[in-house]
Amino acid sequence: MLNIHYLHHAAICVTDLERAKAFYSGVLGLTELPIRGIDSNRAWYQAGPCQVNLIVKDKADPSSPRHLALCVDSVRKARKALEEQGVKLTKTTQVSNINRFFFEDPDGNRLEIVCPIGQG
């Protein structure tokens, strides 16, 4: 049996690296990481203990329920910050013990903001 400690990274396909970098660093506020040993047509970002890797592709992935969930300190503050950036958001809903909402990056990749209920 594997002894998995945590999710290290998730890769997202994007069609325009500079546009995606502006979104993931400028809108979401993720910190870009240096890349060594592979081509420069991609970008890596730190997201808490995990990473988000952007990989360039000719066409965007088809729409899907597949998504990344990013945990924040406050759903209300995250919602306000994204709305101020002009990001279109779904209604905040509760599921199990979290509040959450969804939105898309410029390539239509689905992202979710989550926060434990009672935390913010």
Residue 72's pLDDT is 96
Tell me whether residue 38 is in a domain: yes
Tell me whether residue 16 is in a domain: yes
Q: How far is residue 85 CA from its own chain's centroid?
A: 15
Residue 12 has which token pair? 């997202």
Tell me whether residue 2 is in a domain: no
Tell me whether residue 1 is in a domain: no
Residue 120's pLDDT is 66
Q: How many domains does the chain have?
A: 1
| Residue 67 domain boundaries | 9-116
Residue 5's pLDDT is 86
Q: What is the pLDDT of residues 3-48, one digit of tens each?
A: 988 899 999 999 999 999 999 999 999 999 998 877 778 999 999 9
* 20/117: higher pLDDT: 20
Tell me whether residue 4 is in a domain: no
Q: What is the pLDDT of residues 48-98, one digit of tens each?
A: 999 999 999 999 999 899 999 999 999 999 999 999 999 999 999 999 999
CATH number at residue 53: 3.10.180.10
Planar angle of CA 102, 51, 4, nearest 5 degrees: 105
C-alpha distances out from residue 71 to 48, 53, 79, 100, Å: 9, 17, 12, 9
d(CA 2, CA 89): 37
Tell me whether residue 3 is in a domain: no
d(CA 95, CA 98): 6
Residue 37's pLDDT is 78
Tell me whether residue 110 is in a domain: yes
Residue 119's pLDDT is 78
